[in-house]
Structure 1
Amino acid sequence: MIERFQIVTGKKSKGLQGKTLLWNDRRVFGTGLNKNTIVIILLALLLGRASILDGLAPFGIAFYAAMISREKGYGYLSLLIMAGLLSAQHASEWVKYGSVMVLCWVIFSYCREKKPLSTLGTASIAGLIMFVVGATYIFFSGFYAYDLFMISFESTVVFVFVYILSYALPIVVQRTNRKKLSNEELICIAISAAIAVTGLSNIGIWNYELKNILGILLTLIFAYLGGASIGASVGITIGIITSMSTIGTPTVIGIYGFSGLLAGIFKDLGKFGSAVGIILGNAILTFYINGSTEVIIQFEEILAAIFLFLMMPKGVIQYIERFTNGGVGAVEWDRSYSERMRQVNYERLQEYANAFSELASTYDQVSVKERMIDQQELASIVDQVVNKICSQCGMCRSCWKNGFYDTYNGIVDLISQLEASGAITVDRIPQSLKRRCIRIEILLQAVRDIFELYKIHYKWERKLFENRQLLAEQFRGVSEIFHELITEISEDIAFRTEIEDAIYIAFDKAGLDIDRVTVMERSSGKFEIDIERRACYDRKQCDDKIAPLVSRVIGREVIRQNQRCTSLKDSNRCLFKLVEAEKYKVATGVSRVSKDNRYICGDNYSFTHLKDGMYMVALSDGMGSGEKAAKESLTTITLLEQLLEAGFNRELAIRTINSILVSKSSEEIFSTIDLSMIDLYSGKLEFIKIGAAPSFIKRTNGEVEIIKSTSLPVGILNNVDIESFGKRLNNGDLIVMLSDGVLDADKHMDEKENWILAALRSLDSKNPQFISDALLDLAISKYGNRVEDDMTVLVSKIWESK
């Protein structure tokens, strides 16, 4: 059974429904009390005892107001708070504080029935009650201006502490799923804990204050788990509260704060490191302030706190650790939020992908007619012929009454001839029709006319079916695009904040102005670093200064991903990405010429760096030559480049291009695709060839490999046949891609690629541009120094970067 604690008030509760505590209901030591109740009782007693300025006790009042404003079941806390107050204060004060709690119970019980109170309302009412009762009390017991000032101060403390408890109580009292806290919540918990610890004033073991021991212990815990900033913050907080509880020297604030700072700095050395930090902090400031060995915080008290800290179970430390690191908590909260948003996007994209997949399946289920004319349409054609020709003929009764079957089968034979051969010959006209029909030529023409209409209808049905199949393919492509996006957003990416801090420090030391650095580590282990800074206006500072500096910091060579200098719109800022440098580099040489030396070449090409260290070399040959072929190949290359740069899968990109070309026009539009994808990290090469001429790989030892394809170009069929070939490249290898105009240059060879093989073996140069020029010149010479077709040669050389 789990009980729940209702934070929002204003609704009337009955029975067990109103008494709901958010804590595990396991009983403690067989007492019938759960952990939640134990914490509340301890807080009530300690906060009732806690005092400031040697007599004011506003903390128990604020705690009671914060609890009773939420739930009427906490009325019993007034007795515990009063017990704590009487055990530490003068007996005469019980009238004032008792009256305040009675008024709080009455007013907040009334307010709960009417409307839930905000934190500001609760704090204001509690502070006002404290002021009115206190002013009334001093009016009857003797009035001094100083007393009025003190009651005003006490009312202000009640107001402030109710606010502090609004952050602390939901974490301390309730059982939640929270794992990280904001800085505000963490500090409020520290303040509440410090005030509760001051409730142990005048309680000691032998001659040592239990309050000091627990204060040091709290500082140790927060410093060890939260670091120097949290340790110093909590230490200062505890020091302030401790110094306020008695009228004495405020130097204890500095000692606690400095000790917490050193304990946090030495936390990387473990528990003993934090313990040494506490000792050093107390010793250093004690000597600095007193100039002697007389300590402000007793050394025995520090040792007692250290002993408790070292003996603390690991499970308790791990539980507290979830709440202590506020900075990491913010990062974790952001990461949790990002995970939730990524899950939402994942589910939405999955729904879209499934929807388009279902649409594709629906269109795939549309069947196509296997025959131009089926039995039902055959009967319809015969009926139309009878109505158009035979019904007006005087021999109709003779043909269709006396010789129905012969006449019907004769017309069916005519239709079958048209369907089979496209024409009706005189010698194949059925004899039954020749003998009976007196209007045979008119009959034949009518059959031809009606059949032609059905033929046109059939062609449009086929076209519609093809368009539906094409649409199904496009829907399937869109579904795969969504699946690609799902895979991309599902990738586990880690933000390395410690590396970001190191880069910021390195930039600062080097005197470089940097606005923002974001370091991402992908699931593959590769780093991507986004840097925003003031634009250098193409002076290449990102390459000359920033990339080498980042490489030294992270211990990996990085380069700028986009070689073009880009500035943020409408600003003088520049945003660029650094990625890990690839193992290999590629240089590509290009040579081409158009048919008859015209200005427009039907071949188009592209070579560029893609994401994740991939390098693309693509060549497309349009149908024929001239402007039309150029448009076809340009469309293919442009779409291929854009889709691959966007991160699309190669096969999906090619199928998408094929669908676009098939549906683009009623005319035939097709072109070849010759694609090489080089992984610059591993040296792996993938050839994808769609109707393209053979490609060649020249190894460093002089051997030449040939890669052939037998597939049709894109834009002809709805389903494109994609052939893929994988190879491994080594340092110094050459990749040669060419259009069929180059391949067909030697017309005397049956195996046309043989002259390319011979030429590559004879060329000793390692310069890709020289080789491409040489191959093109040789092709032109084999044409008889004429250019009979568009010709393009691309030669890429790969080598290891140093």
Structure 2
Amino acid sequence: MGIITEAYSEKLKYQFKVRWIKTFFQVMKQQDVALYVISFLLGRAVIMDELIPFSLAYFASVWVIKRERAKLVLLFSIFGVVTVGFSPLIILLISYLCFGFFISLGLFVNSNRHLPYILALSSMLGRLAFTSLSNQFSNYALIMAFTEALLAGILFLIFIQSTPLVAPKRYKPVLKNEELISCIILVASVLCGLSGMYLVGVNLEDVFSRYLILMLALIGGPTIGATVGVILGLILSLVNETTLTQLSLLAFSGLLGGLMREGGKFAISSGLIIGTFLLSIYVDGTASLFPSVVASITAILLFLLTPTSLTKRLARFIPGSNEQYEEQQQYLQKLRDATANRMEQFSDVFEALSKTFTGKLAQEIDIHQEERELDDFLSHVTEQTCQGCFKKTVCWAENFDSTYQNMAKIKQELSQNGHVSQITESKFKRQCMKANKVEAAIKDQLSYYKANQHLKKQVGESRRFVADQLLGVSEVMDNFAREIVHEREHHDLQEQQIVNALTSIGMEIEQLDIYSLRKGEIDIEMTLSVYQYHDEGNKVIAPILSDILKENVVVAEEEISPMPNGYCFLIFKSARAFQLDIGVAHAAQGGGFISGDSYSTMELAAGKYALAISDGMGNGKRAREESMQTLHLLQQILQSGIDEQVAIKSINSILSLRMTDEIFSTLDLAMVDLQSANVQFLKIGSTPSFIKRGHTILPVESSNLPIGIVKEFDVEVVDRQLEHGDILIMTSDGIFEAPKLIENQDIWLKRVIKQIETSDPQEIADLLLEEVVRLSSGKIEDDMTILVAKVQRYQSKWATVPYYKVSE
């Protein structure tokens, strides 16, 4: 029985130990164990054989950021300084007490701007108190106390940036440069705590410092590797004079390893071995060669055993690394997707609103609507006439149909003709004793009826207009959402052809991104390394791309480095099938400087080009403001992607509602598709335009009132197909009205245009204006504007360079 009891007791003890160990590790995992390891090692870190500024600065940074962990950090810091000696322990304890005293006074409220000064004062008081108690006070002790206090304040500003980075949850996707340097200084300070610690005769400080250099050389390249090597070597050299060689070794190994990182881990490791042999033999001789080589080999073994997943995870936080670039691209893709989803939601909302307005409009168009309106109309008439008549029952009870039809007939004739026919009037008088009174009441009620009908029509048109606008905004947002989520397609074959072609002629391509190769929508970005740029993009690269892609390609944008042997960034896009050569001539009334006419030429998305002339009512500054405002609104709305008909209706609605005085403007708009040469004319109160094709003159005209006169109108669109060499001529009304003695201005203007022999658009505009002024005896009685555009097929300035595939 005793044996069983003893065995059971041992089992309970074992289970208790296992449970306690599991609980301890779970607590340590939840309590940020990295903070405690760092605090222990920083407690051991001593520089210049006596200064201990790290522990107090790190405790203050944890107290600010994770105050709930501050007590355990303080405890582990004390454990660390105990392993160093008694004197540092007393100094640190006094510094902690001073820091706690100043904090209890409320000097640190809601800002940490005073905390570096409190730390510096606490550190200085701690060292001065110890030197006073130990009778070691001197000028040297005062200088060392000031130095330690200064270091404590500066290290706090560094540690407070790097302390959040050791938390398990990372809240920033990428480290800033200052955060990276702060983190490196923190790691170097932690490595100072490994000073004097050996494992199987190997110095752990050397091993982990060189291991860190290898990791950062692999992740960040030569710049990061050399920078970290200098920082680590400088800080570690303050711990022990004999480690001054580490500054050169770590910096050289980081630089050499970073330069060889394309060769992988073995190439980077060879850089450390080379640096170890060279610097150890040159500086310290062969005596220190063996322990230094052992430390380097141990660091290399740890480096080779480090899993690639850990390396990639760390690389995501290093600026400039490939992993960090991929992380940013993923973040941008998520941002684009979220933005596109929100835009699609807004598009659906506007589409639903548009359907709501059109639904209300459809409900109004009811087959029984007219009957209900007639019933309401006659009911108002009968309230004024038949309600007090003694024959009311006879007319509306016994002869309802005939009475109703007769009164409806009177309303119809009054609405259409303004009077009642004798037949209808005599027929109604035989039935009604108050026929004249009823007819007068119908006339009186008819004015209200017409006003009500006009108001309903305006409301219906307004709803239709709002529905069109909402639908146009919905389409723009939907197109924008599709453009946002449009990802780059893979074009491996064409990319290889482009790289081979440009490399074969000596071009050094740093980066090539092909976003689209669709017909008419080519989009290619390229970064080249050039010694001196001589417009190779237009002269050489664009012709080669045109031959490879079987389409005219031009340089859309270019950014050239001002320094020789720099980089140039080029964007190539599809050339339009047609191009326009523009010419303009205009004159103000009386030869003045301010013209009421305004014109605009603008290239829009989807390969369209807009030419517009607006003529404000009257002359002078006010007319010019009207015409410029019309064109400004037109340009903004068209560039947003809204259909041109909706755009013109929107402008008309805005201009007709913005003021009460009668100031109007005309608009002559031509939308030319540069891929097909098709043109759409939208002429609002403007004069006819002309297309000159050889010796044939084709007029273009439509009938629309000027903008702002009526609130709603239907825009009449005229389509024409232009050809190569066609000349489009648009004019304001001052050109037509100038020759007073000519009866038919259209025929006269066609004859003048036909007689002009030149095909240069600017010369045509100048000659036509000169002819009009000459026929007006040199007088300019109205503002005149002539806009001429010549349609030509696009012809590259440089011949296509053929690409011959090199046989391998």
| Inter-partner Cα distance in structure 2 for 1:551 and 1:401 | 94
How far residue 151 of structure 1 moved from its aligned partner, in angstroms, is: 3.7
Q: Could you tell me whether the CA contact under 8 Å between 2:61 and 2:160 is conserved in 1?
A: yes
Q: 2:77 aligns with which of 62, 77, 81?
A: 81
Confirm or deny that 1:38 pairs with 2:33. Answer: yes
Deviations along 1:564-602, one digit per CA (max 9) or x if unpaired, are: xxxxxxxxxxxxx99646534624477999xxxxxxxxx
Confirm or deny that 1:227 pairs with 2:221. Answer: yes
Q: 2:406 aligns with which of 391, 410, 413?
A: 413
Deviations along 1:120-159, one digit per CA (max 9) or x if unpaired, are: 5554444444433333333333324133433443343333
Residue aligning to 2:97: 103
**1:475-490 correspondence runs (5 A):** 476-477=471-472
Residue aligning to 2:12: none
**Aligned-partner SS, 1:429:** helix
Classify 1:349/1:32 alpha carbon distance in 2 versus 1 (closer, same or farther; 3 Å). closer
> What amino acid is aligned across from residue 143 of structure 1 in structure 2?
Q
Q: Could you tell me whether the CA contact under 8 Å between 1:235 and 1:253 is conserved in 2?
A: yes
| Inter-partner Cα distance in structure 2 for 1:379 and 1:451 | 13
Deviations along 1:482-517, one digit per CA (max 9) or x if unpaired, are: 667777788889xxxxxxxxxxxxxxxxxxxxxxxx
Confirm or deny that 1:183 pairs with 2:162. Answer: no
Deviates more, 1:277-286 or 1:191-200: 277-286
How far residue 322 of structure 1 moved from its aligned partner, in angstroms, is: 2.2
How far residue 314 of structure 1 moved from its aligned partner, in angstroms, is: 0.8
Residue aligning to 1:141: 134
Q: 1:256 aligns with which of 250, 254, 257?
A: 250
Confirm or deny that 1:583 pairs with 2:575. Answer: yes
Residue aligning to 2:535: 548
**1:637-716 correspondence runs (5 A):** 640=634, 643-645=637-639, 648-650=642-644, 652-656=646-650, 675-679=670-674, 683-688=675-680
How far residue 696 of structure 1 moved from its aligned partner, in angstroms, is: 9.2
**Aligned-partner SS, 1:54:** coil
**Aligned-partner SS, 1:558:** strand
Classify 1:55/1:772 alpha carbon distance in 2 versus 1 (closer, same or farther; 3 Å). closer
| Inter-partner Cα distance in structure 2 for 1:592 and 1:552 | 34
Q: 2:317 aligns with which of 304, 316, 323?
A: 323
Residue aligning to 1:131: 124
Classify 1:461/1:371 alpha carbon distance in 2 versus 1 (closer, same or farther; 3 Å). same
Number of residue pairs the alignment of both structures matches: 672
Q: Could you tell me whether the CA contact under 8 Å between 1:82 and 1:94 is conserved in 2?
A: no
Residue aligning to 2:13: none
Residue aligning to 2:555: 558
Q: 1:218 aligns with which of 191, 194, 212?
A: 212
Deviates more, 1:717-726 or 1:241-250: 717-726
How far residue 471 of structure 1 moved from its aligned partner, in angstroms, is: 4.6
**Aligned-partner SS, 1:160:** helix
Residue aligning to 2:546: none
Residue aligning to 1:52: 47
**Aligned-partner SS, 2:794:** strand
| Inter-partner Cα distance in structure 2 for 1:649 and 1:288 | 78
Residue aligning to 1:245: 239
Q: Could you tell me whether the CA contact under 8 Å between 2:690 and 2:699 is conserved in 1?
A: yes
TM-score (norm 1): 0.63
Residue aligning to 1:16: none
How far residue 280 of structure 1 moved from its aligned partner, in angstroms, is: 5.1
**Aligned-partner SS, 1:796:** strand
Identity between Structure 1 and Structure 2 (%): 21
| Inter-partner Cα distance in structure 2 for 1:61 and 1:417 | 104
TM-score (norm 2): 0.63
> What amino acid is aligned across from residue 85 of structure 1 in structure 2?
V
| Inter-partner Cα distance in structure 2 for 1:607 and 1:345 | 33
**1:396-795 correspondence runs (5 A):** 397=390, 399-400=391-392, 405=398, 409-410=402-403, 413-420=406-413, 421-422=416-417, 423-429=419-425, 431=427, 433-434=429-430, 437=433, 440-441=435-436, 444-474=439-469, 476-477=471-472, 525-526=523-524, 548=535, 558=555, 580=572, 582-584=574-576, 586-588=579-581, 608=601, 610-611=603-604, 614-616=607-609, 618=611, 640=634, 643-645=637-639, 648-650=642-644, 652-656=646-650, 675-679=670-674, 683-688=675-680, 718=713, 720=715, 733-734=724-725, 795=790
| Inter-partner Cα distance in structure 2 for 1:131 and 1:275 | 44
Q: Could you tell me whether the CA contact under 8 Å between 1:690 and 1:711 is conserved in 2?
A: no
Q: Could you tell me whether the CA contact under 8 Å between 1:696 and 1:736 is conserved in 2?
A: yes
Classify 1:644/1:291 alpha carbon distance in 2 versus 1 (closer, same or farther; 3 Å). farther
> What amino acid is aligned across from residue 419 of structure 1 in structure 2?
Q
| Inter-partner Cα distance in structure 1 for 2:190 and 2:584 | 84
Classify 1:528/1:352 alpha carbon distance in 2 versus 1 (closer, same or farther; 3 Å). farther
| Inter-partner Cα distance in structure 1 for 2:441 and 2:210 | 110
Q: Could you tell me whether the CA contact under 8 Å between 1:46 and 1:84 is conserved in 2?
A: yes
Q: Could you tell me whether the CA contact under 8 Å between 1:610 and 1:644 is conserved in 2?
A: no
| Inter-partner Cα distance in structure 2 for 1:621 and 1:113 | 71
Residue aligning to 1:377: 377
| Inter-partner Cα distance in structure 1 for 2:177 and 2:349 | 45
Deviates more, 1:328-337 or 1:448-457: 328-337
Q: Could you tell me whether the CA contact under 8 Å between 1:61 and 1:100 is conserved in 2?
A: no
Unaligned runs of 5+ in 2: 1-20, 489-511, 517-521, 543-552, 559-568, 587-596, 734-749, 769-784, 798-808
Deviations along 1:452-492, one digit per CA (max 9) or x if unpaired, are: 44334433443444344435544555666666777778888
| Inter-partner Cα distance in structure 2 for 1:31 and 1:450 | 90
How far residue 377 of structure 1 moved from its aligned partner, in angstroms, is: 1.9
| Inter-partner Cα distance in structure 2 for 1:329 and 1:112 | 48
Q: 1:309 aligns with which of 303, 306, 316?
A: 303
Deviations along 1:620-667, one digit per CA (max 9) or x if unpaired, are: 899xxx99xx99999987765554355545464355457568879999
Deviates more, 1:423-432 or 1:215-224: 423-432
Q: Could you tell me whether the CA contact under 8 Å between 1:123 and 1:160 is conserved in 2?
A: yes
Q: Could you tell me whether the CA contact under 8 Å between 1:186 and 1:326 is conserved in 2?
A: no
Unaligned runs of 5+ in 1: 1-25, 494-518, 530-544, 562-576, 594-603, 742-755, 776-789
Deviations along 1:369-408, one digit per CA (max 9) or x if unpaired, are: 8439421220211232458xxx7xxxx54x4466665599
| Inter-partner Cα distance in structure 1 for 2:661 and 2:461 | 12
Q: Could you tell me whether the CA contact under 8 Å between 2:584 and 2:787 is conserved in 1?
A: yes
Q: Could you tell me whether the CA contact under 8 Å between 1:233 and 1:257 is conserved in 2?
A: yes
Deviates more, 1:683-692 or 1:171-180: 683-692
| Inter-partner Cα distance in structure 2 for 1:709 and 1:28 | 90
Deviates more, 1:370-379 or 1:479-488: 479-488
| Inter-partner Cα distance in structure 2 for 1:309 and 1:230 | 17
Classify 1:94/1:671 alpha carbon distance in 2 versus 1 (closer, same or farther; 3 Å). closer
**Aligned-partner SS, 2:28:** coil
Q: Could you tell me whether the CA contact under 8 Å between 1:407 and 1:432 is conserved in 2?
A: no
RMSD over aligned CA atoms reads 6.4
Deviates more, 1:58-67 or 1:237-246: 58-67
How far residue 616 of structure 1 moved from its aligned partner, in angstroms, is: 1.5
Classify 1:471/1:400 alpha carbon distance in 2 versus 1 (closer, same or farther; 3 Å). same
Q: Could you tell me whether the CA contact under 8 Å between 1:620 and 1:673 is conserved in 2?
A: yes
Classify 1:607/1:273 alpha carbon distance in 2 versus 1 (closer, same or farther; 3 Å). farther
Q: Could you tell me whether the CA contact under 8 Å between 1:736 and 1:796 is conserved in 2?
A: yes
| Inter-partner Cα distance in structure 1 for 2:643 and 2:287 | 74
| Inter-partner Cα distance in structure 1 for 2:130 and 2:662 | 101
Q: Could you tell me whether the CA contact under 8 Å between 1:65 and 1:162 is conserved in 2?
A: yes
How far residue 266 of structure 1 moved from its aligned partner, in angstroms, is: 3.6
Deviations along 1:58-110, one digit per CA (max 9) or x if unpaired, are: 433443454467546553445543443343x34x43651563377379648x7
| Inter-partner Cα distance in structure 2 for 1:477 and 1:290 | 79
Q: Could you tell me whether the CA contact under 8 Å between 1:263 and 1:273 is conserved in 2?
A: yes
Classify 1:357/1:667 alpha carbon distance in 2 versus 1 (closer, same or farther; 3 Å). farther
